């Protein structure tokens, strides 16, 4: 099975400013909620048919990720 690796170029200054703003607003809004807010780099592993660690080939890094506790 072939493995592909894709890399996105570095984000722009405006992208970083907007991402930080959204992250801060979400963090403030969700402060007393049963979840955590993460900002990239943060790996999100997307399993296919198998959830075994060695079988997970899709890993993404969203700018912002909200995870329920």
pLDDT for position 2: 59
> What domain count does the chain have?
1
In a domain, 61, yes or no: yes
Tell me the pLDDT tens digit for each residue of 8-49: 788 899 999 999 999 999 999 999 999 999 999 889 999 998
In a domain, 8, yes or no: no
In a domain, 6, yes or no: no
In a domain, 2, yes or no: no
Residue 4 has pLDDT above 80, yes or no: no
In a domain, 7, yes or no: no
In a domain, 3, yes or no: no
In a domain, 4, yes or no: no
CA quadruple 20, 23, 28, 29: dihedral positive or negative?
positive
- Structure-token match 């992208």, residue found: 15
Q: How far is CA 13 from CA 20, 21, 26, in A?
A: 11, 12, 20
Q: Is 4 exposed, middle or buried (0-12, 13-18, 19+ CB in 10 A)?
A: exposed
- Which domain, by its residues, includes 17? 13-68
């Amino acid at each position: 099975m072939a493995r592909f690796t894709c890399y996105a170029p570095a984000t722009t200054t405006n992208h970083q400013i907007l991402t930080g703003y959204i992250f801060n607003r979400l963090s403030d809004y969700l402060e007393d909620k049963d979840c955590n807010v993460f900002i990239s780099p943060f790996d999100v592993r997307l399993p296919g048919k198998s959830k075994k660690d060695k079988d997970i080939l899709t890993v993404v890094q969203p700018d912002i990720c909200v995870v329920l506790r």
